[in-house]
Every structure is written in C-alpha cells, then in structure tokens.
Amino acid sequence: MTGFVSFVSSGPGDPELLTLKAVARLQAADVVLFDDLSSGPILAHAREGADLVGVGKRAGRLSPKQDHVSRLLVDYAQTGARVVRLKSGDSGMFGRLEEEITALRDAGISYEVIPGVSSAMAAAAAAGIPLTRRLTARRVQFVTGHDVTGSLPGDLNLAALADPSATTVIFMGKRTFPELAGLLIGAGLSPQTPALLAESVSTPAQKITRGTVGTMADLIASEAEDGPALILIGPLAE
C-alpha cells in the first residue's frame, strides 16, 4: 500500500498566514517532515500522535542532505502513510521542491502541491509597500543570493537585475550582497536605488531596515540579525 505526499507551504512564519488547505493537511497527516522555518506554532496544527521530523537546511549549519530528505519522503509514503512535507514560504520558491517531486515520481508515489504566501509578498506587506507600480515598477524578479556552494551565482543576468524599473527580491542574500551590489552598480544601477532588508518577516523577531544599494552592505554588517532575510531593491523599496 502506497501513501500520499502533500507538499504544504507554510508561509513566512505567522501561523495565521497558513491557508485552510494547509491546516487541513496538517491535521490529517501521519507524518510531518518540516523545515526549520516551518516549526514552532505552525506545528501545533499537526494532529496528536503524528510523527514530526525536522529536516530543515540552514546556511552555515549542519543540515540533512537533500537526497536523505527525499529518501525519507519515499520511505514514509511506502508504508501507506499520509505525509506532509512542510516547507517555508511558498514551496515552489527556492525550496528544492523539484528534487523531492522527482524522487516521488521515480518511486511511483502520488503527491500534491499546496501553495502558500511567499516571504517576498510578506516582506512587502510588512514594509507597507507594493511590489509593482504602473510606469515605474512594471516588473518583479526573484533571485537567489547564493548557489549550492554558498557563493554568489556566477551566471546572474546582471543587465536584468540592474533594471531601474524592476523590483528585485533577493532570497538568501545577506552574505553575498556586498559583492552583488558592486556588480549591479558596475552594470549601471544607481547606488542611490532604494534597498530594504526584511528579516524574520511575520514573526515576533521581524525587523525592517531601509537604505540604498550603496549603503545596504554596511547596514547588513552592522545591524543584521541571524534570522532569515530578504533584500528588496528598486524604486518602491523605500
């Protein structure tokens, strides 16, 4: 008997931002494999007696390997269990969702993907700004600030990222932002372009720091906390 896997997006951290479908899947699950950022009060929705298994990966910390996480999903589902893979933000956004889906497909296991509130949208809401504006911010682009080695990706489209009429959201970019900022300025982006650092969005530790592309690297070095963070740059990030 083969079980079923629900990839449940937990949103940015506030349990009130969970969707009704996400809560329903948590309440019905036999097993919940959760990320670090999806723990705490969100897990209170899991039913009593469910197995709760932490599989979160955090930069600079010892973390489960991705193939191990994928193997756990398959192993639990093959027992006939209803499995929830609880991912922070929206599971399709820089969450290695595809690798886990591939493992399930290869094993013949059925699954569903339940979307959630992306931390990018939550960060903009926390800062009280929109992500788009007619005429001056017509495009939104999401990019990761590091590759599998932890370094700034070497194949970034700098011309697109330096577009002054776009809102750019950089995920996991605190450590590499000084290098990225230098590249963007070299590609023509004004150092006076507004920039915003959003940390631990929608949690009690939330912190919003405003600056510019030219000043944000120093602000990160002097003020940044250790929590998860996004950097927004563009005409609306002020």
Please return the burial class of 220, using the count of CB atoms within 10 Å of its CB with bins 0-12, 13-18 and 19+: buried
Strands 207-212 and 194-199: antiparallel
Catalytic site residue from 14, 30, 35, 163 = 35
* Residue 106 appears among annotated catalytic residues: no
Q: In what order do the strands lie in the sheet with 110-114?
A: 51-54, 31-34, 82-87, 4-9, 110-114
> Would residue 65 show up in a list of annotated catalytic residues for this protein?
no
Strands in the chain per DSSP E = 4-9, 31-34, 51-54, 82-87, 110-114, 139-144, 166-171, 194-199, 207-212, 229-233
Q: Identify the active-site residue in 14, 21, 36, 57.
A: 57
Q: Which residues does the annotation mark as catalytic? A: 35, 57
